């Protein structure tokens, strides 16, 4: 399995110290989603508790998966997008003693006026204007950010989508779906796995992480013949108006 304790050649540094004691984390609760993608929808402000029957279950089989079904949970499920903009969901964690893996299911509803031809998931810290992807933020030495888990061992479930067929892992902490469409009024189902990995030297400075979601809207250029036809109508209209004005002046 791809481990998330890799070094990023960016401002985020993961320092591996073998003299320290590794501390992993497990998810304890999920906050209500927030962000401009929700439009004027007000989500119930209630935390969703997370049950973790199999802590430290890295490389788990289906029989030993921690499941987070109908993400985000008690508040604003399914997740409805009123605008082509992000929705952030914050998950809180606590030390547990090893890498803990979670299997998520989710439904996203397209309540915008645009057809989606893709969908992006990103893991970072903070929400809304304070959200930052790991490669662009500074965290204390020894902090490990949870990461999406796929293309790993054969026992790990691969991400799925009910509408999209192509999955791109665009570097760490980011996956993007394409190869399909979700029309206004339709919904799309997703499944994915997240590893909540070891912090080092008993460092639990990051007590939460965020999953940011953003639909990708289809851009349809205006056909050339349509714009040309409209321009021709405008010219003809101006010409007729001018002729009518001259006729009136002559009369």
Position 4 in a domain: no
182-224 per-position pLDDT tens digit? 999 999 999 999 999 866 555 555 689 999 999 999 765 545 4
State whether 142 and 238 are in the same domain: no
Arithmetic mean of pLDDT, 23-47: 90
Position 202 in a domain: yes
Largest separation between any pair of C-alpha atoms in the chain: 101
State whether 116 and 233 are in the same domain: no
- How crowded is the C-beta side of 161, counted as CA atoms within 13 Å? 22
126 vs 240: which has the higher pLDDT:
126
Domain range enclosing 235: 223-251
Which helix (DSSP H) or strand (DSSP E) does residue 113 occupy?
A: none
State whether 52 and 127 are in the same domain: yes
In the predicted model, what is the mean pLDDT of the chain?
A: 78
Number of domains in the chain: 2
Would you state the structure tokens that stand for residue 53, as one six-digit string?
């029957």
102-136 per-position pLDDT tens digit? 999 999 999 999 999 999 999 999 999 999 887 77
Using DSSP's 3-state secondary structure scheme, residue 39 falls into coil
Position 15 in a domain: no
pTM of the model: 0.76
DSSP string covering 45-84, please? ---EE---SSTT-TT--GGG-EEETTTT-SSS-SEEESSS
Beta strands in 163-225 (DSSP E): 164-169, 174-180, 187-196, 208-217
């Amino acid at each position: 399995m791809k481990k998330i304790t890799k070094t990023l050649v960016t401002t985020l540094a993961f320092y591996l110290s073998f003299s320290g004691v590794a501390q992993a984390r497990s998810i304890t609760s999920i906050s209500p989603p927030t962000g401009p993608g929700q439009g004027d929808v007000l989500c119930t402000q209630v935390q969703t508790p997370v049950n973790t029957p199999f802590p430290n279950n890295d490389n788990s089989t289906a029989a030993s998966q921690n499941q987070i079904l109908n993400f985000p949970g008690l508040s604003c499920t399914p997740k409805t997008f009123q605008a082509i903009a992000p929705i952030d969901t914050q998950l809180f964690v606590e030390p547990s003693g090893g890498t803990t893996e979670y299997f998520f299911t989710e439904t996203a509803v397209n309540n915008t006026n645009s057809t989606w031809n893709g969908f992006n998931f990103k893991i970072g810290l903070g929400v809304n204007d304070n959200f930052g992807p790991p490669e662009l933020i500074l965290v204390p030495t020894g902090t490990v950010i949870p990461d999406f888990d796929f293309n790993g061992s054969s026992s790990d479930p691969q991400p799925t989508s009910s509408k999209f067929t192509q999955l791109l892992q665009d570097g760490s902490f980011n996956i993007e779906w394409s190869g399909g469409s979700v029309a206004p009024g339709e919904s799309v189902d997703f499944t994915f796995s997240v590893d909540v990995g070891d912090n080092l030297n008993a460092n639990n400075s990051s007590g939460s992480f965020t999953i940011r979601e953003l639909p990708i809207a289809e851009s349809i250029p205006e056909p050339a013949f349509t714009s040309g036809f409209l321009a021709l109508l405008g010219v003809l209209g101006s010409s007729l108006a001018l002729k009518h004005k001259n006729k009136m002046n002559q009369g």
